[in-house]
Chain A
Amino acid sequence: MNRYTRQRLFGIAVRAAASLVVGVLLLVIGVTVIRGGGVLLADPSIVLTPPGARYMLEGTGGFLHAVLGSIFIVGPATVVSMVAAVSTAVYLQSDYSSERFSDAVNMFLNVLWGTPPIVYGLFVLTIIIATGTQTSLFFGIVAIAIFQYPIMTRYTDEALRAAPETVRESTYGLGATRFESARMTVRAAAPGVIAGLVMGFARGIGDAATVLFTTGRSTRMPGGLFDAATTLPVLIFDQAMSFNAEVRSHAYAAAFVLTVVVLGLIVLSKLLAGRYARYTPGGNR
């Protein structure tokens, strides 16, 4: 085969690969939007109705419990994780630690990032067993916070490293302490930090494996910090395995809600990041 023919074939192959990826992904979104949207249009109240007593068996009521569960678990977890992530990232800058130390910590953060979420779920579950307590909202928050921590820290660290060096120089030149200088650096890196926050939230709200064992997969409204709860992804998983067609159709409605929230968050982070677009690698990692 002539090298020009080969080049042409290669061009066709990569175009085919790209259209395959885009096509499949559009199909996934399309099915979610059409099926889920259809169910939601027929009865929009299911998002805001508490579940009936036998919701998983008969599909009476709605899935407000999972919507609230997601908010009450992922919201606090994101706050906790963000505080820890920003603190860690600040400590990893050259003002506080050596290049060697921050390289080592970054290596551990990358490994934690690649750790399957189910491992975090099991880890928190072993803590629950060891302390003799019950699965609850609280442990869901713990599990999600651990899951988000490496993601947010890596984003924040990158944002801080890319912050203009002049901020550091001028704050130190004015006699600021390390802590005061770090506060200004975080402010200067705000768009990147916020992008990390939104990405962490989006990953946290979409993950099921971490909360599957730690919150109790409840089918009632969450009753307090130490009461069993559930989240949208876990609910979708449970609904999808149900024998009742009505319940299964609710899964698509829940999936629709979740997709809209996640995609909305990604778009939001892109908008917030604005011209600092390179700190938002599109929620992939």
Chain B
Amino acid sequence: MTTDTDDLRDRARSSRLGRRLLAERYSSYWLTAAGYTAIALFAGITLLLFYRSLPILSEYPLSSLLTSANWDPAANEFGFLPAIVGTVYVTVLSMVMGVPVALGAAIYIAEYAEGRMKTLVAALIDVLAAVPSVIFGLVALIVVVPFVGNYVAPVFGENTVGVGIFTVSLVMAIVITPFMTSLTVESLESLPDELRETSLGVGATKFETIRSVLLRAAGPGIFSAILLGFGRVFGATIVPALLIGGQTQIPSSVFSSGQTLPTLIVNDFGELMSLPLTQSALIFVGLMLVVVVWLFNFGAMLVQRRLKRRWQYR
């Protein structure tokens, strides 16, 4: 490995071994470059987005950008608070609706269902996790929107045509549920059967076994499933853009229309190309999305390491 490439090139002219060694040398350069691609992409995205957000960050202090409720790019007013509040609403509501159902369905598949039923339900959920979210959005336009407008909102005494934060949350919960379910099933099924046998053997009911033993042992896996679900809701673009109504205001209730950070980019995209300050403001939205998602991911990795140490049954 100490011969330099020029020597190898000479040897390659005369012998077969030389040619093979030269191929090895060149391929290792290529593979090394490929190995660093992920890190380069990560750094490239952060730096470029940050660099492009500098104009808006130097124009206004960060605190006023994040706390001002006034969004009017034409008048140079850049307040992200409505979109931030909308994003938080949508994320929290979807997780509240989606996580329990996903966990229940996963427990059913992993612990209750048997034989053909199990294969069928698991395969169906797995396959449907891959359906593009734009299709969920499209179907929601004719199913969920009237449902929320005619039946759900009146129950809460709200008057709405059906688009708004609640609709988006409901649809996003539907989008991420199969996805979280199939990840949770995977981590429940990878648990050793001795865990179940021991717990049932000392007289616990099936429910007690699941609650106190299996859910804990599969904890780290379930945690990352929920986290991936969170990431998908948080950065969801198409479904909110179709269903949220697109009004940049602080939502007065969960049924009112609003804006999330990604839909802000979609709706003001037309101005993005022309006005430099708006362009910078919208790229700053991208930077916010990246920073939050990445902080959550790295934080989650630390938490997960903890959980693994505390909850591992091995």
Bound: A192/B24 CA distance, A: 25
Bound: A176/B88 CA distance, A: 55
B39, CB-defined interface residue at 8 Å: yes
Bound: A110/B294 CA distance, A: 10
For A13, the closest partner residue in chain B by CB is: B104
Q: B74-109 vs A: 1/0 string, CB under 8 Å?
A: 000000000000000000000000001111110111
| Stretch from B63-71, B175-183, B249-257, B306-314 forming part of the interface with A | B175-183
Instruction: Give the contacting residue for B130; candidates A6, A149, A262; CB below 8 A.
Output: A262
Instruction: Give the contacting residue for B125; candidates A7, A22, A153, A213; CB below 8 A.
Output: A22
Q: Which residues of A contact B45 (CB under 8 A)?
A: 115, 119-120, 123
Whether B48 pairs with A112 at a CB distance below 8 angstroms is no
Whether B231 pairs with A114 at a CB distance below 8 angstroms is yes
Bound: A3/B112 CA distance, A: 18
A209, CB-defined interface residue at 8 Å: yes
Least CB distance, B208 to chain A, in whole angstroms: 7
A166, CB-defined interface residue at 8 Å: no
Bound: A153/B138 CA distance, A: 31
B226, CB-defined interface residue at 8 Å: no
B57, CB-defined interface residue at 8 Å: no
Whether B262 pairs with A116 at a CB distance below 8 angstroms is yes
For B120, the closest partner residue in chain A by CB is: A22
Q: Which residues of B contact A31 (CB under 8 A)?
A: 139, 142-143
A105, CB-defined interface residue at 8 Å: yes
Q: B26-46 vs A: 1/0 string, CB under 8 Å?
A: 011011101101110110110
Instruction: Give the contacting residue for A21; candidates B105, B227, B283, B298; CB below 8 A.
Output: B105
Tell me the count of chain B residues lying within 8 A, CB to CB, of chain A. Answer: 95
Bound: A178/B23 CA distance, A: 10
DSSP class of A's interface residues: helix, strand, loop or mixed? Answer: helix
Instruction: Give the contacting residue for B231; candidates A116, A177, A240; CB below 8 A.
Output: A116
Least CB distance, A97 to chain B, in whole angstroms: 6
Q: Which residues of B contact A118 (CB under 8 A)?
A: 235, 237, 262, 265-266, 286, 289
Q: Which residues of A contact B232 (CB under 8 A)?
A: 116
Bound: A282/B27 CA distance, A: 33
Tell me the count of chain A residues lying within 8 A, CB to CB, of chain B. Answer: 92
Whether A114 pairs with B124 at a CB distance below 8 angstroms is no
Whether A179 pairs with B297 at a CB distance below 8 angstroms is no
Q: Which residues of A contact B294 (CB under 8 A)?
A: 111, 115
| Stretch from A40-48, A199-207, A218-226 forming part of the interface with B | A199-207
Q: Which residues of B contact A205 (CB under 8 A)?
A: 132
Whether A150 pairs with B38 at a CB distance below 8 angstroms is yes
B186, CB-defined interface residue at 8 Å: yes
Bound: A29/B128 CA distance, A: 9
A109, CB-defined interface residue at 8 Å: yes
Q: Which residues of B contact A281 (CB under 8 A)?
A: 126, 182-183, 186
Bound: A177/B8 CA distance, A: 14
Whether A258 pairs with B293 at a CB distance below 8 angstroms is no
A243, CB-defined interface residue at 8 Å: no
Bound: A94/B24 CA distance, A: 16
Whether A6 pairs with B207 at a CB distance below 8 angstroms is yes
Whether B104 pairs with A126 at a CB distance below 8 angstroms is no
Contact A109 to B104, CB < 8 A, known contacts A21-B178, A179-B23, A180-B20? no
Bound: A21/B102 CA distance, A: 8
Least CB distance, A112 to chain B, in whole angstroms: 6
B155, CB-defined interface residue at 8 Å: no
Bound: A200/B42 CA distance, A: 19
Q: Which residues of B contact A91 (CB under 8 A)?
A: 31-32, 34-35
Bound: A202/B174 CA distance, A: 19
Whether B293 pairs with A114 at a CB distance below 8 angstroms is yes
Bound: A56/B273 CA distance, A: 22
Contact A4 to B234, CB < 8 A, known contacts A17-B101, A18-B113, A179-B23? no
Whether A24 pairs with B174 at a CB distance below 8 angstroms is yes
A172, CB-defined interface residue at 8 Å: no
For B126, the closest partner residue in chain A by CB is: A282
Bound: A206/B132 CA distance, A: 5
Least CB distance, A50 to chain B, in whole angstroms: 22
Contact A115 to B293, CB < 8 A, known contacts A15-B108, A18-B104, A282-B130? yes
Least CB distance, A213 to chain B, in whole angstroms: 6
Residue contacts A-B, CB under 8 angstroms, 18 given? A3-B208, A7-B208, A10-B207, A16-B104, A17-B103, A17-B104, A18-B109, A31-B142, A35-B142, A90-B31, A97-B35, A116-B231, A119-B49, A209-B237, A233-B132, A233-B238, A282-B130, A283-B126
With A17-B105, A110-B297, A262-B131 given, name 11 new contacts (CB 8 A): A28-B136, A111-B293, A115-B235, A182-B31, A205-B132, A209-B238, A209-B262, A281-B186, A282-B130, A284-B129, A284-B130
